[in-house]
Homo-oligomer: A and B are copies of this chain.
């Protein structure tokens, strides 16, 4: 029982390196390699009864990049795993990939040992993110706050919190012993102050500020 892998990268050098790292691994069968995500998507569309277990992919590629590839796969073949291998350690990028539910992420300078560990972990159904990546991601979480919180007054935060907790204006008025008009004023000010359009925007802000869980 072998696992079937595909590798996608537009750099020949990388493909070679990856192949050499995996060639002595009996349990993995490299079905084919691709220079962009496009060929993989085509393959998946034709062979609907796909027998692929894992795609190892770079992020930056011509035509269809790693992110688009991941989106397509997660949408149409939810059981197919994706391991991203990249040299970008941009927090935004990492955040995007985590949100998009990629199964693993290791840097391009990873050791063979880590590559194999990542593949193995992912195939067993778990996620694998190298500690470098975790480091970057955690830092981005810690530094994301603060900068925005300061502009709101205590009362505004109170109201915002209750709004995000799905309370209606009247309920908020009752709990804070205010007139509903007052609460409406606060909501109005919050919307203009935070430059959002409606409750959804306010809720997102409340979450970003850590006002609610």
Contact = CB atoms under 8 A, between A and B. Distances in A.
A8 interface: no
Interface string A149-174: 00000000000000111101000000
Interface residues of A, number: 36
Contacts of A203: 199-200, 203-204
A148 to B, nearest CB: 12
A17 to B, nearest CB: 27
Copies of this protein in the assembly total: 2
Contacts of A210: 98-101
Contacts of A141: 98
Interface string A196-207: 111111111001
A134 interface: yes
A60 B82 CA distance: 41
